[in-house]
Structure 1
């Protein structure tokens, strides 16, 4: 059994013994588990005093029945019929109250059901009846652990040591129990006893140090390690331990000195670099700290998990530029030290995105996906980058490949739908986006975006009914989606339908996202359709002021508005500008040729 300092736990080997079924256990522990009444047949008559004190002396016939019932109970326990086994052991104890083996078995059944309050008295009685059964004492130790009855453990471990003095775990468990009880000097005496029996060890060293530090005896904790360093000058772990003791107790200069010695001995020890980084950071020497980190990150022998944790420590400092740059550089080094680990490329890609290096992030995330295609988030991030870069073919290829592995991911269906919509294949887009709406019922953002995109696609497919219904549904999930409001309003105005509704939606989109040229153009055009020409002129001039692309459509719309406010010459000038910016249509040509508005 190993009892941890904070929470006592039996060792794996002892637990296996403790909970194993002692079926035919007499092969291993002669007579230890047989009912006491059966053992009485092989003992002197004086042993019957115990039975008599329990209530009666068992007859030969009674003992034979108890024996048969006992093995029947074991059989039921073996086939996991615990209820019947429990009843049988209880019947044995009614007939033979001093049957310690049945007490032990019944206690084990109760412990399996976490009934430690019920099992503990049985075990205490069992060890009273049979003081030399190691299994009983081990089970009682486990029970005291579970019920946090730490003060009774010392005696239990004394008994276990008496029965099995060669088992080192019992000594350590006793010392740790004393440690929990804050009987530090007594625990140290047990560690001295262990060292005499088994010699010095790192476990002993570590346990003594914990006690010394709890007692505030930093000098004693350090001196133990200094002795180890003197005896083993090339063992870096002792330098690291001593550095940790010094640094965590306010002796950073001593810690720095001992770790610098370790660095000279083994410059390729990443843990030394990380420990030095901590000390330099505490001393506010950020440059030296980061230099030690980069050296440690470059060493492949240090596991990637520890390095990932260090990088994640920078996240709370975002969006600080220095923190983002540091995390980026460390993650770059990570890919060099661990070129076969997908996690290194995943976090490097993420840090590139955090630093707005989107083009550089794409191949890095692609590499991560190639190394491990079972991480969905990496693949979604990659497709988002490809869409942002307008690399539609790559987005479709990688997105559809991701869906072959993760077909039920709603966001990926939406993203692939976006790519197909931008390639003007609206039928394929509709298929993927409808998948997204059927797979996701809770994410309002995704549902709003999906139904809005369906509205766009159905409009392009001339399916006006489905288009309007999709826009309306999108707005139920997010009434403040400015792009949905603008697109829906614009398409209504083109059809000259529900202009009041269109005007309300368009005005709201401009409130949500002011100074957006396309939104202002939509609102101006709706006002034009409503014959509110003065207001339309005002909003179109705003749109042109904010337009950075010299939109031909906006200039044509402006010309239309100017014609109706009576400024024909200015209207003609803007129609000609629209043509010069690339607008080609018979209607525009007619306006220019006839110098008047035409639909």
Structure 2
């Protein structure tokens, strides 16, 4: 004959213990019915349970759950299976099922500390503070010497704005364990929450006097003063802390924040320098502070501050690539490209696996027209990152500028195979192909490449200008070339090269008066008048009948460095040569 028994867990009370003590039923009861097991069922339960534990260990949670559920089918009051199953549900964020099962478990076995801890975690996750408080009562009952349970209970009460009840818990802590910094900090939070920062400050002032070596109290006190609008008092407290520990980075950073709030950037910078000299201050915090100056780089002081702080960081952290990388970023923003490259290279010696640094190095190589360096650096970068289209693009520019257009095209094809989404990069790739194919006099392929570039980015002024210019040199599709050239000027007004291109196309269309207007604009826009523009100027003047001025401009073009046979022939024969 099987004999049954019933265990009841009431919502809002604390299992059977609380029922006996308080007799408070706040909602519907959960009823767990158990039974006496036969020897065969008992053996099967053990087997299923340990199989479930094994599956849980190997992260096969579905099979583990199946086993634990089978245990509960045979033995409905098996609290261990309830706990394990509740744990699985909790890790999978199935909090309703987890709560139901673990509440059943504490009903069956209210003396198990682990069960109550899991229930507490579930209520924390679901923000159920009302149910969390009685759970901590149970944990306090089971572990009365554990101070943390009292603090957790008080926090749960505070989150319900039950300040008086939380204060009572803190008073109990003091009676049981005496005063402590944690207790003082907790009481300060209550005072601040009650809008009594003065009393909170008084509590901290006592701690500062009783324990002057604990800088955390100074920092907390300064924060309360600052929030109360007493910035000068906050600084005075931190200055005392700095006297106690002059090299403390946290104190110096706090002082810097206060000086910055008072619009005293020079004073803030002095504090930052001291903090940055501390190798124990996390380098990520230093990098974050340095980067915060970037939006202010229009101000020379901000640039100078960032430069010096980055330099200190590099000296303080000589084994961390981040230090040299951020210093390189600062120098790059200051347009000190050679120095930036030197810092980037130091970072790469320490860690060559950071793609962004390689890209910056190549960008500097191209900007400074150091194409041999770009080829060397590009090959080194591609050996590590062979699937990065921008690296092929930068390398192709270097090869093209070095006259190796076949190699440039090969690299651009690799880039095109890799890049299929970024329209700007795709446009640059095919525009570069257009340039190199044109240099190799493979004009049909050049035109096709330019068309692909414009399909990706119809308003790329560089592509429009180059395509138009090369068409005009060949005397092909001049009307189309004129439209593209005019559009490039609209997109990039004041560009001397684009204005020269438009002037030359108008010249080829025999619109000499219009061509004169644009060549003179180009010469005004350009910082330095180049030989090509001077020769074009002479050509236009010649067809406008001003042959003496035409000869003068051709002569200037030769003096500016042009050594073409055609130009010499124009000068010698004093006439335009097609």
TM-score range, shorter chain: 0.7 to 0.9
What is the aligned partner in structure 2 of residue 133 from structure 1? 112
Structure 2 counterpart of 1:68, from 33, 38, 43: 43
| Paired residues for 1:18-167 under 5 Å | 58=35, 62-80=37-55, 86=65, 89-90=68-69, 93=72, 97-167=76-146
Aligned residues: 548
CA deviations 1:339-373 (Å, max 9, x no partner) are 32222222222222223333332222222222222
Structure 1 partner of 2:370: 391
Residue of structure 2 in register with 1:17 after alignment: none
Q: Name which of structure 1's ranges 295-304 and 317-326 shifts more when overlaid on structure 2.
A: 317-326
For structure 1, which segment, 345-354 or 117-126, has the greater mean C-alpha deviation from structure 2 after superposition?
A: 117-126
- 2:467 counterpart residue number: 488
CA distance in 2: counterparts of 1:328 and 1:393, whole angstroms? 29
- The one of 273, 277, 280 aligned to 1:298: 277
Deviations for 1:479-510, whole angstroms, at most 9, x for unmatched residues? 22222222212211222211221222222223
1:311 aligns with 2:290: yes
- Cα distance in structure 2, aligned partners of 1:592 and 1:67: 112
Equivalent in the alignment of 1:436: 415
- Residue deviations 1:298-326, cap 9 Å, x none? 22232222222322333444544443333
Q: 2-side partners of 1:540 and 1:257: how far apart?
A: 67
* Counterparts of residues 497-516 of structure 1 (less than 5 Å): 497-516=476-495
Q: How do 1:111-510 and structure 2 match up within 5 A?
A: 111-510=90-489
Cα shift at 1:333: 2.4
Unmatched runs of 5 consecutive residues or more in structure 1: 1-34, 38-52
What is the distance in 2 between the residues matched to 1:382 and 1:533? 45
1:457 CA displacement: 0.8
Greater shift in the superposed pair: 559-568 or 92-101 = 92-101
Residue by residue over 1:25-59, the C-alpha shift from the partner in whole angstroms, topping out at 9 and shown as x without a partner, is xxxxxxxxxx998xxxxxxxxxxxxxxx9899956
Tell me, yes or no, if structure 1 residue 564 matches structure 2 residue 512: no
1:453, CA displacement in angstroms? 1.1
Task: Call closer, same or farther: CA 1:286–1:99 in 2, change over 3 Å.
Answer: closer
Q: State the Cα deviation string for residues 241-290 of structure 1 (Å, max 9, x = none).
A: 22222222223232222222222222111222222222223333333222
Give the Å deviation of 1:97. 4.6
Supply the distance in 2 between the matched residues of 1:501 and 1:101 (Cα, whole angstroms): 82
Q: CA deviation at 1:78?
A: 2.1
Q: 2: distance between equivalents of 1:541 and 1:251?
A: 64
Residues 53-91 of structure 1, C-alpha deviation per residue, up to 9 Å, x if partnerless? Answer: 9899956xx432431332133133124265566556556
Distance 1:510 1:90 in 2: 75
Give the superposition deviation at 1:429.
1.5
Q: Is the 8 A contact 1:456 1:467 kept in 2?
A: yes
Q: Once the 2 structures are TM-superposed, how far is the Cα of residue 523 of structure 1 from its aligned partner?
A: 2.4
SS at match of 1:386: helix
CA contact (8 A) 1:452 1:470 kept: yes
Contact in 1 for aligned 2:52/2:68 (Cα 8 Å) = no
- Tell me the SS of whatever aligns to 2:533: helix
SS in 1 for 2:493: coil
Which of 562, 570, 577 aligns to 1:591? It is 570
Q: State the alpha-carbon separation in 1 of the partners of residues 139 and 4 from structure 2.
A: 21
The 2-side partners of 1:54 and 1:552 are apart by 97
The 3-state SS of whatever aligns with 1:506 is helix
Contact residue 531 and residue 562 of structure 2 kept, 8 A: yes
Match of 1:480, SS state, is coil
Q: Distance in 1 between matches of 2:492 and 2:144?
A: 80
Range 326-335 or range 87-96, more displaced = 87-96
Provide the TM-score with structure 2 as the length reference.
Answer: 0.86
Looking at structure 2, the residues matched to 92 and 555 of structure 1 have their Cα atoms a distance apart, in angstroms, of 95
